[in-house]
Amino acid sequence: MRGIPLWNFPAFDAVAKELRAAGHYVISPAELDREIGLDEHDYPNWPEWFRIEDAMKRDFAQIVTCDVVALLYGYENSIGVKHEMAVAKACNISTVALASVDRFASIAGAIRDTDDDLTAEQMATLEGLGIRTFNTGAIRDTDDDKLDFSGFLSPRVIHRYAEYMHSCRKLPDGSLRSASNWQKGISYDSYMSSMWRHFFEVWANHWDDSPDEEALCALLFNVCGYLHELLEVQ
User: What per-residue confidence (pLDDT) applies to 62?
Assistant: 93
User: What per-residue confidence (pLDDT) applies to 187?
Assistant: 95
Contact 141, 150 (CB under 8 A): no
For residue 141, the cross-strand partners are 131
C-alpha–C-alpha distance, residues 61 and 182, integer Å? 41
From the number of C-beta atoms within 10 Å of its C-beta (0-12, 13-18, 19+), residue 165 rates as middle
User: What per-residue confidence (pLDDT) applies to 1?
Assistant: 84
Beta pairing class for 94-97 and 68-71? parallel
Positions in the chain short of pLDDT 70:
99-145, 234
C-alpha–C-alpha distance, residues 64 and 92, integer Å? 9
Q: Which residues contact 113 (CB under 8 A, 6 or more apart)?
A: 122
For residue 176, the cross-strand partners are 170
C-alpha–C-alpha distance, residues 149 and 130, integer Å? 20
C-alpha–C-alpha distance, residues 15 and 20, integer Å? 9
At residue 56, the 3 state secondary structure works out as helix
User: What per-residue confidence (pLDDT) applies to 24?
Assistant: 85
Of 151, 121, 117, which Cα lies nearest the Cα of 135? 117
For the stretch 95-143, pLDDT in tens is: 887 754 445 444 545 444 444 566 666 666 566 655 666 666 666 666 6
| The length of the chain, given as a count of residues | 234
C-alpha–C-alpha distance, residues 113 and 172, integer Å? 65
Side chain identity at 234, as an amino acid letter? Q
The radius of gyration computed from the CA coordinates of the chain, to the nearest angstrom, equals 26
Of 130, 149, 152, which Cα lies nearest the Cα of 139? 130
C-alpha–C-alpha distance, residues 218 and 164, integer Å? 8
Side chain identity at 24, as an amino acid letter? H
Phi-psi region of 185 (alpha: psi -120 to 50; beta: other; left: phi over 0): left
User: What per-residue confidence (pLDDT) applies to 101?
Assistant: 42
